[in-house]
């Protein structure tokens, strides 16, 4: 790869990002265009993250942005049905929603229908009440330059709004297809709003079918869980070698709401950075953040999480577990901010790692900032190998070393997979984990 | 079936086994007794292939094959089974999945196809009854939260499932109340047949009231210092080990 090939996109990002904005469709209203312009300004001010950016200390994103000569891709091409079908989770009874490069493919999707359910393209819902109220509203996005870049340059994404008391009867499976004929930088933008007492289960998976072109996705999802609403949200990342991803989820919760977030990163994609933030804007909420990352070869997986306890009487539980094979590199950051008003907060965080590769490593940093005085908060970190005694026990029963390791990894990850409430998805993940360890 | 010749082993430079000789034939029940620290459990560990033991001298042959050259899993696949003194708890690995994996790995080694789900369940049900092992324990994590008795019964249940040629029971009776002891011993007795051999390592003669040994060996200071029949166990129960130690010192001083 030669540097003059790489320069245009990377140079535009670092020097002349305005030139890129001419390449994306404009948004429907002047207000939104103004939001875009401000985001672009903000991105220009902050610039791309460097190793000196506190939130990116262990992840050199520029290395990955410079790796290939990307071009900004804002359109979708037709993706054959068999490619889409290959992402199906066996035995899962669901509504399938297919997005190609962020663009909804209505003919390949089965949209949930009924009173109070709005599901469609972001671009078609810019005047919807939820959009007007919540698009780009989450303050955590402001600090993150990659999110600003997305706001400035996204083309489309998935809009979901559930009216008050609306419950979706089956899980929604959102299939993100990233498809390109040349190395592409793709920026989908999604907004999901669950109004009062609404409930849904949403499973995200992604696929990049081409092996000869690299797709770099920089996606942003905002979720809003209103009063007493409940969202079960699963994100399964098992991307291809030819895929790279910065995935930002900014959630906000209101009074009495429940948000259960699961993030699974499995071997494949060389570079994954997940930004996850949850702002608790109401009291008596429950938040569960579960993560499992299994990384192999030279994979780099960075989970950057932020629990923002703004209001009192909220509970959050965060459990991230990692299995690092070969030369894989893991990063975990768990920030918990408990504001002075957020009395009676319970906030727990745990990050456990199995370092199985000889050159695997993990950088884990809990960041607890607590300004209230009547709270229960804890954090913990472990990194280790298999217990020798357990390995010997399994082997003494005739189980070979590899099979024993597979059993142990399944055991290690079981408290995450056990918490998965969709049986088909749980079975799928357990099978995937077993297969990874058997190879 | 099993021949141990002049076996010496050490842990972290400390000599533990100092020349064990033992011959075990098909269908025999051998008991190994001895005071604490005499090397009983170490012998079991060396035979099963625990890797913190270093064999410095001697040989162990199992059905004509050099056991000491084999990885622990291959020893198990060849037909050696160790019932652990302290079975390990492994949260997240279900008993059922563990057993299925073990059984099928052993079958694959022997060139047999994996058991069909139905056959496996049938076998499981049949063997569970041997040791009164409740079905609800089957779906639980391996030994996790099991009582001492449940763990030991699980060892014998696994023994029944995996059907080895040689079973080494390492203090399976310790920590058991009389009812559990009876259940475990009954299980073992039902598994005895002309093809299968047992080495029962124990502190207490009590177990040998239920499991009648063909031979009783006394291990002391890393060596077998006396071999006899079940009457020897009774004598040990009455007189302790001191008389044997004295006998040994007299012999050695001559």
Given a cut of 50, whether residue A3 has pLDDT beyond it is no
Report chain B residues whose CB lies below 8 A from the CB of A410: 92-93
Contact flag A397-B98 (C-beta cutoff 8 Å): yes
Comparing C-alpha atoms, which of B186, B188, B196 is closest to residue B24? B196
Q: What is the pLDDT of residues B133-158, one digit of tens each?
A: 888 888 899 999 999 989 999 999 99
Contact flag B98-A407 (C-beta cutoff 8 Å): yes
Q: What is the pLDDT of residues A158-176, one digit of tens each?
A: 999 999 999 999 999 999 9
Report chain B residues whose CB lies below 8 A from the CB of A395: 49, 71-73, 76
Given a cut of 90, whether residue A4 has pLDDT beyond it is no
Q: Is there a domain that residue B206 lies in?
A: yes
CA distance A179 to chain B (A): 38
Res A194: pLDDT: 98
Q: Is there a domain that residue B171 lies in?
A: yes
Res B185: pLDDT: 93
Report chain B residues whose CB lies below 8 A from the CB of A392: 50-51, 72
CA distance A409 to chain B (A): 9
CA distance A406 to chain B (A): 10
Q: Which residues lie closer than 8 Å to B166 by C-beta, 6 or more apart?
A: B1, B2, B24, B62, B79, B80, B81, B196, B197, B198, B199
Given a cut of 70, whether residue B52 has pLDDT beyond it is yes
Residue A395: closest C-alpha in chain B: B73
What share of chain A in percent tops pLDDT 90? 87
Number of domains present in the structure of chain B: 1
At residue A46, φ and ψ (nearest 5 deg) are -75, -40
Res B222: pLDDT: 94
Comparing C-alpha atoms, which of A361, A380, A215 is closest to residue A299? A361
Q: Is there a domain that residue B63 lies in?
A: yes
Report chain A residues whose CB lies below 8 A from the CB of B82: 396
Contact flag A413-B92 (C-beta cutoff 8 Å): yes
**Average pLDDT of B45-57?**
95
Contact flag A411-B93 (C-beta cutoff 8 Å): yes
Q: What is the pLDDT of residues A277-333, one digit of tens each?
A: 999 999 999 999 999 999 999 999 999 999 999 999 999 999 999 999 999 999 999
CA distance A251 to chain B (A): 31
Which of B67, B88, B141 has the most A C-beta neighbours within 10 Å, making it the best mutation to test the interface with A?
A: B88
Contact flag A394-B77 (C-beta cutoff 8 Å): no
Alpha-carbon torsion B107, A431, B92, A354, what sign? positive
Residue A390 contacts B where some CB pair is shorter than 8 Å = yes
Q: Is there a domain that residue B238 lies in?
A: yes
Res A31: pLDDT: 87
Q: Which residue in the set B51, B91, B162 is minimally distant from A398, CB to CB?
A: B162
CA distance B232 to chain A (A): 31
Res A249: pLDDT: 98
**Average pLDDT of A387-407?**
93
> Which string of b and e fits A110-148 if b means at least 16 CB within 10 Å?
eebeeeebbbbbbbebbebebbeebbbebebbebbbbbb
Report chain B residues whose CB lies below 8 A from the CB of A403: 101, 105
Residue B159: closest C-alpha in chain A: A397
Given a cut of 90, whether residue A147 has pLDDT beyond it is yes
**Average pLDDT of A60-74?**
93
Contact flag A411-B49 (C-beta cutoff 8 Å): no
Distances (CA, A) of A170 to A42, A191, A197, A268, A378: 40, 19, 16, 29, 35
Res B242: pLDDT: 87
**Average pLDDT of B14-24?**
95
- B-facing residues of A in 397-416 (CB < 8 A) are 397-401, 403-404, 407-408, 410-415
Radius of gyration of chain A (CA): 21
Residue B161: closest C-alpha in chain A: A397
Domain locations along chain A: 71-386, 387-439
Given a cut of 90, whether residue B80 has pLDDT beyond it is yes
Residue B51: closest C-alpha in chain A: A392
Report chain B residues whose CB lies below 8 A from the CB of A415: 92
Q: What is the pLDDT of residues A210-235, one digit of tens each?
A: 999 999 999 999 999 999 999 999 99
Which of A398, A426, A431, A438 has the most B C-beta neighbours within 10 Å, making it the best mutation to test the interface with B?
A: A398
Contact flag B109-A410 (C-beta cutoff 8 Å): no
Q: Is there a domain that residue B46 lies in?
A: no
Res B254: pLDDT: 55
Give the N- to C-terminal CA distance of chain A in Å, as an integer. 31
- d(CA A195, CA A226) in angstroms, rounded, equals 5
Q: Which residue in the set A392, A403, A413 is minimally distant from B101, CB to CB?
A: A403
Q: What is the ipTM of this complex?
A: 0.95
Res A326: pLDDT: 95
**Domain range holding B192?**
2-38+51-253
Q: Which residue in the set B82, B90, B105 is minimally distant from A400, CB to CB?
A: B105
Q: Are A239 and A267 in contact (CB under 8 A)?
A: no
Place of tokens 């005895």: B192
Res B250: pLDDT: 73
Chain B residues near any Cβ of chain A (below 8 Å): 48-51, 71-73, 75-77, 81-82, 84, 87-88, 90-93, 97-98, 101-103, 105-106, 109, 141, 158, 162
**Average pLDDT of A409-420?**
93
Which of A354, A393, A401, A408 has the most B C-beta neighbours within 10 Å, making it the best mutation to test the interface with B?
A: A393
Report chain A residues whose CB lies below 8 A from the CB of B105: 398-400, 403
Contact flag A413-B71 (C-beta cutoff 8 Å): no
Q: Length of chain A, please?
A: 439
Contact flag B76-A403 (C-beta cutoff 8 Å): no
CA dihedral B39, B40, B44, B49 (to 10 degrees): -10
Q: Which residue in the set A393, A397, A407 is minimally distant from B162, CB to CB?
A: A397
Res B253: pLDDT: 64
- The pLDDT-based confidence of A1 (bands split at 50, 70, 90) is very low
What share of chain A in percent tops pLDDT 70? 98
Report chain A residues whose CB lies below 8 A from the CB of B87: 393
Contact flag A390-B49 (C-beta cutoff 8 Å): no
Q: What mean pLDDT, rounded, does chain A reach? A: 94
Q: Are B220 and B34 in contact (CB under 8 A)?
A: yes
Q: Which residues lie closer than 8 Å to A257 by C-beta, 6 or more apart?
A: A225, A226, A227, A228, A229, A230, A282, A285, A286
Annotate B91-144 with DSSP letters as a single string. Answer: EEEEHHHHHHHHHHHHHHHTTPPPPPHHHHHHHHHHHHHHTT--HHHHTSEETT
Kindly report the CATH number assigned to the domain that includes residue B20.
3.40.50.300
Contact flag B71-A401 (C-beta cutoff 8 Å): yes
Residue A395 contacts B where some CB pair is shorter than 8 Å = yes
Contact flag A393-B88 (C-beta cutoff 8 Å): yes
Res B90: pLDDT: 92
Distances (CA, A) of A286 to A48, A283, A376, B22, B89: 34, 9, 14, 64, 32
């Amino acid at each position: 790869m030669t540097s003059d090939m790489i320069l245009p996109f990377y140079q535009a990002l670092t020097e002349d990002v305005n030139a890129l904005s001419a390449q994306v469709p404009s948004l429907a209203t002047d207000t939104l265009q103004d939001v875009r312009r401000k985001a672009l300004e903000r991105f220009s001010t902050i610039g791309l993250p460097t190793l000196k950016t506190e939130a990116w200390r262990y992840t050199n994103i520029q290395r990955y942005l410079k790796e290939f000569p990307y071009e900004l891709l804002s359109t979708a091409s037709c993706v054959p049905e068999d490619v889409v079908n290959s992402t199906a989770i066996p035995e899962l009874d669901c509504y399938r929603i297919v997005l190609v490069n962020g663009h909804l493919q209505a003919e390949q999707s089965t949209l949930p229908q009924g009173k109070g359910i709005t599901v469609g393209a972001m671009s078609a819902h810019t005047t919807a009440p939820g959009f007007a109220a919540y698009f780009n509203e989450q303050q955590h996005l402001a600090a993150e330059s990659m999110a600003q870049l997305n706001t400035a340059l996204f083309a489309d994404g998935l809009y979901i709004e559930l009216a008050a008391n609306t419950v979706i009867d089956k899980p929604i499976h959102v299939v993100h297809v990233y498809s390109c004929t040349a190395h592409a930088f793709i920026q989908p933008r999604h907004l999901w709003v669950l109004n009062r007492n609404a409930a849904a289960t949403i499973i995200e998976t992604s696929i990049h079918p081409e092996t000869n072109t690299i797709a770099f996705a920089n996606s942003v999802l905002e979720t809003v869980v209103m009063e007493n609403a409940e969202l079960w949200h699963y994100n399964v990342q098992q991307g291809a070698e030819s895929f790279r991803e910065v995935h930002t989820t900014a959630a906000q919760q209101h009074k009495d709401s429940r948000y259960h977030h699961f993030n699974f990163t499995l071997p494949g994609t060389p570079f994954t950075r997940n930004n996850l933030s949850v702002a608790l804007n109401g009291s008596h909420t429950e938040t569960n953040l579960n993560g499992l990352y299994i990384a192999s070869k030279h994979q780099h997986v960075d989970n950057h999480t932020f629990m923002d306890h703004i209001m009192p009487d909220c509970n959050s539980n965060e459990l991230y577990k990692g299995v690092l094979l070969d030369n894989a590199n893991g990063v975990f950051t768990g920030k918990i901010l408990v504001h002075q008003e957020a009395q009676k907060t319970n906030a727990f965080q745990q990050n456990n790692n199995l370092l199985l590769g000889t050159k695997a490593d993990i950088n884990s940093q809990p960041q607890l900032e607590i300004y209230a005085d009547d709270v229960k908060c804890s954090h913990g970190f472990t990194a280790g190998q298999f217990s020798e005694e357990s390995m010997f026990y399994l082997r003494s029963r005739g189980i070979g070393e590899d099979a024993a390791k597979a059993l142990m990894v399944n055991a290690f990850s079981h408290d995450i997979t056990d918490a998965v409430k969709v049986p088909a998805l749980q079975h799928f993940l357990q099978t995937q984990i077993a297969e990874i360890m058997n190879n | 079936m099993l021949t141990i010749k002049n076996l010496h082993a050490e842990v972290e430079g400390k000599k533990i086994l100092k020349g064990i000789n033992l011959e075990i034939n098909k269908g025999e029940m051998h008991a190994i007794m001895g005071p604490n620290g005499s090397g009983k459990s170490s012998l079991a560990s060396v035979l099963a292939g625990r890797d913190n033991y270093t064999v410095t001298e001697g040989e162990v042959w199992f059905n004509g094959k050099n056991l000491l050259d084999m990885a622990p899993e291959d020893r198990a696949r060849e037909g050696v089974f160790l019932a652990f003194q302290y079975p390990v708890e492994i949260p997240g690995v279900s008993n059922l999945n563990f057993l299925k994996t073990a059984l099928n790995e052993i079958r694959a080694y022997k060139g047999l196809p994996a058991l069909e789900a139905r056959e496996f369940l049938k076998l499981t049900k049949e063997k569970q009854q041997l040791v009164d092992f409740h079905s609800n324990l089957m779906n639980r994590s391996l030994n996790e939260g099991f009582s001492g008795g449940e763990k030991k019964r699980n060892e014998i249940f696994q023994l029944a499932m995996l059907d080895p040629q040689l079973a080494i029971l390492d203090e399976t009776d310790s920590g058991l109340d009389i009812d559990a002891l009876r259940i475990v011993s009954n299980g073992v007795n039902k598994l005895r047949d002309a093809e299968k051999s047992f080495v029962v390592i124990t502190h207490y003669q009590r177990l040998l009231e239920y499991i009648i040994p063909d031979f009783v060996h006394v291990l002391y200071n890393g060596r077998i210092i006396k071999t006899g029949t079940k009457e020897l166990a009774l004598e040990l129960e009455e007189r302790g080990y001191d008389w044997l130690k004295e006998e040994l010192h007299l012999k050695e001083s001559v």
